[in-house]
Amino acid sequence: MKKNKEKKQEKNQNAFNISIEQAHFKNKENKSFNTVYYYLAIMVIFVFLIILTPILQMQNSDSWKPLFSFFSFFCHQKFERSLCLNQNYQLGNCDVTSNFIYQFPVCSRDISFYLAMLIGGFLVLVLKKKDEIKIPDIIWLILFIAPMAVDGLTQLFGLRESTNEIRIVTGSIAGIIIPFYMIPIINRLISVGERNKRKKAD
């Protein structure tokens, strides 16, 4: 009885996956699947605004403040854990004595994370994964995020103090993998939506 129930569930799941794949194939035929391009557009704008913020600070105007406030929703913005520019547009750890005072609106870990997310989006294109609906094994996500999690948690609990260099490396490793999960998940959700629309239309 239990085996028959499991077989029925497996059969239903396979039928569901096939219907999603069919809907996805029709979307591709209609050229309606541009998920990765929307993703890249959003990430380009997001990273551009991060880079723009310290440059606006140099202009001695208040135009950077709304951006800094906006990014406070995404980051703690602690000065000592962030990267700054100096008057010569050189990049370094934020330090008043060294004149690295024009702060990016997200910390060193986050700036590398978001930049890596952007680079990962381009890799999705290069590796021809933009139409993918199969979500990679969760183990890869865990492996890529683990260094950042260990670094952040050991610092949080006072076991050690991290450095901006380590934050940048661990943030980059975590960020690069994100689009390889986000794009298939979004593609899959769109396919499910299209499948449901067709079922209602029929």
| pLDDT of 118 strictly over 70 | yes
Contact 108/81 with Cβ under 8 angstroms?
yes
- Tell me the C-alpha distance between 1 and 11, whole Å: 15
Instruction: Give the span between the Cα atoms of 186 and 178, in whole angstroms.
Output: 12
- Predicted structure pTM score: 0.82
Quick one: pLDDT at residue 61?
A: 83
Burial label, 156 (beta-carbon count in 10 A; 0-12, 13-18, 19+): exposed
Query: What value does the mean pLDDT take over residues 153-165?
Result: 94
- DSSP label of 80: G
Query: Cβ atoms within 10 A of the Cβ of 98, count?
Result: 12
Burial letters 166-200, b for 16+ CB under 10 A, else e: bbbbbbbbbbbbbbbbbbbebbbebbbebbeeeee
Q: Which two tokens stand for residue 75?
A: 């980051």
Side-chain-facing half-sphere of 181: CA atoms under 13 Å: 15
What pLDDT band is residue 34 in, cutting at 50, 70 and 90?
confident
pLDDT computed for residue 30 by the predictor: 46
Q: At what angle do helices 35-57 and 179-201 cross, to 10 degrees?
A: 130
pLDDT level of residue 103 (50, 70, 90 thresholds): very high
d(CA 172, CA 112): 5
